[in-house]
Amino acid sequence: MSDWSFDDLTKWDEKICEIAKSRGLDWYEIAYESCDYFEMIGNMAYHGMPSHFPHWSYGKSFERTHSMYNAGLEGLPYELIINSNPSIAYLMLENPLYLQILIMAHCVGHSDFFKNNRCFKDTDAEHVTRKFRSARKRIQNYIENPHIGIENVENIVDACHSVQYQIDRRGRFRLEEKDLKKSLIDKINSDKNKVYKKIDLNKKPLEPEYDILLFILENSSKLEDWERDIIEIVRSESCYFMPQIRTKIMNEGWASFWHYKILNELELPDSLHIPFLKTHNQVLRPWGGRINPYHLGFEIFKKIEEKFGIEECFTAREVFSDESFIMQYLTEEHARELNLFTYSPKGRKNPDWSIDDVVDEEGWPEVRQALISSIGSNSIPVIYVNELKDRTLILQHEHDGRDLELDYADNCVKNISKLWKDKVKLFTVLENDIFEF
């Protein structure tokens, strides 16, 4: 069926690597595995991890992709590569040669990004596959343990998944509680203006704790060992994936930026070059109602190169995340070219979605703010532990103008109380009023 052999792939890979190296890319070695489309969907369901603990939600994810594939609604993503050393990437057997070449060049860009972007420095690419394998084994043991069993394991995983992204998104350095206390005492002692007088040193936590799972781990006395282990496993998986959520636009933009450069340098015969251009345009087309990260990232990197040179591109890919990248480089003029706009439904009486702002003098700050609020981890509500009082876990939603979906929040709170095994309260704002769950 396919028009290629492994020798072809090796040959083209060699050329790709040569060009990439000469241009200054620095990536983890890539291990390509071939698979058919069924296995591809299987791998996608587990985020490409060669080994991952079981959970029904991955079965659901499989079914969804599979039925969309069968319904022709969605082509499979052309690449799937994980942040590990070596980086594992999958090549679908059904893909024609030009697409494999495109994917390999694209993967080099991703792997370079994983290796060099600052957000990824704590993701431990060296050991990640081993960690996932060990987590799978432990969870498998809990499942097979007659005293625990699959139902209990899945309940805990379900509950953890409700707050999986309520972690400290920036991976900031955390002070130990006693050090934090000490620094606060110092502040109070040297405080002449009595600004810090009101600090309650017995409050727990002393400062808002954004890492809900960690707080539960550190402060619960009711968790069984296996439950602790599962919470820790889910939490560390979230920490591993959070940088990818925070750099989706940059990461896809960078990989597309490079596959485009490399393929144009490969001197492909027309029979490969023309279908390549077609696919490239297809992948990078704007999506209208949503931001296509491939498109936006690619366009911004292109603009940076035009204006400041390729060196600036390399610096940007190292130091920024999507949010700071957009703030730094997306100009009003460029946004106008991209024809960005914001839109929303207009309430119960008029359910149609209509455009609120377009990029003009008046609208640009609004569009920019909405764009920043919708990208990376900003699309996930921020919930933190405000206080632990009489065994009640009091959570606070950091309201930024956007209200929570009530049904979901309600069920999340129920799930958190399964982990905390005591009362849980959540405060938020709903239509400008304080709302308590």
Partner 1 sequence: MSIFKEHKTIADRSAADRSRHKRKIEKAIREGVTDIIADESIIGQEGKKRIKIPVKGIKEWQFIFGQNESNKQVGSAPGSPIHKGQVVKKGQQQQQGQGNNPGNDKGEEHYEVEITLEELAEYLFDSLKLPDLDRKKFKIAVQEKPKQHGTRPYGIRPRLDKKESAIQRLKRKSAAKRTEQIELDPETGEEVFPFHDNDLRYHFIKEKPKEATNAVIFFMMDVSGSMTTNVKFIARSFYFLLYQFIRHKYEKVEIVFIAHTTEADEVDEERFFKRAAAGGTHISSAPFLALDLINDRYHPNSWNIYAFHCTDGDNWEEDNDKAIAAFIELRDVCQMLSYNEIVLASERPNWDSSENSKLWSRLKSIEGKNMKMNILKSKDDIWPAFRHLFGVENV
Q: Which stretch binds partner 1 (CB under 8 A): 172-180, 182-190, 196-204, 286-294?
A: 286-294
Interface mask toward partner 1 for 301-340; x: CB under 8 A: ------------------------------------xxxx
d(CA 108, CA 106) in angstroms, rounded, equals 5
**DSSP-based three-state secondary structure for 186:** helix
Least distance from partner 1 to the Cβ atom of residue 26, Å: 14
Using rule CB under 8 A, residue 135 touches partner 1: no
Residue 215, Cβ density class (10 Å: 0-12 exposed, 13-18 middle, ≥19 buried):
buried
Pick between residue 287 and residue 308 the one whose CB is nearest to partner 1. 287
Least distance from partner 1 to the Cβ atom of residue 292, Å: 7
Using rule CB under 8 A, residue 255 touches partner 1: no
Please, are residues 234 and 160 in contact by the beta-carbon 8 Å criterion? yes
User: Which residue from 179, 183, 287, 307 is in contact with partner 1, where contact means CB under 8 A?
Assistant: 287
Dihedral sign for Cα 430, 399, 378, 411, please.
negative
User: Which residue from 11, 137, 204, 391 is in contact with partner 1, where contact means CB under 8 A?
Assistant: 137
Least distance from partner 1 to the Cβ atom of residue 160, Å: 11
Least distance from partner 1 to the Cβ atom of residue 96, Å: 16
Pick between residue 20 and residue 128 the one whose CB is nearest to partner 1. 20
d(CA 133, CA 284) in angstroms, rounded, equals 35
Pick between residue 129 and residue 292 the one whose CB is nearest to partner 1. 292
Interface mask toward partner 1 for 73-112; x: CB under 8 A: -------------x------x----------x--------
Q: How many residues bind partner 1 (CB under 8 A)?
A: 102
Interface mask toward partner 1 for 346-385; x: CB under 8 A: xxx-xxxxxxxxx----x---x--xx-xx----xxx-x--
Pick between residue 315 and residue 374 the one whose CB is nearest to partner 1. 374
d(CA 48, CA 114) in angstroms, rounded, equals 15
Using rule CB under 8 A, residue 8 touches partner 1: no
User: Which residue from 199, 207, 308, 408 is in contact with partner 1, where contact means CB under 8 A?
Assistant: 408
Span 191-230, contacts to partner 1 by CB under 8 A? none
d(CA 106, CA 280) in angstroms, rounded, equals 11
390 dihedral zone (left: phi>0; alpha: psi -120 to 50; beta): left
Complete DSSP assignment for 29-68:
-EEEEEE-HHHHHHHHHTTT-SS----HHHHHHHHHHHHH
Q: Which residues pair with 30 in a beta bridge?
A: 87
Span 47-66, contacts to partner 1 by CB under 8 A? 54-60, 62-63
Residue 158, Cβ density class (10 Å: 0-12 exposed, 13-18 middle, ≥19 buried):
middle
d(CA 124, CA 131) in angstroms, rounded, equals 10
Write down the residue that tokens 């024809």 correspond to: 339
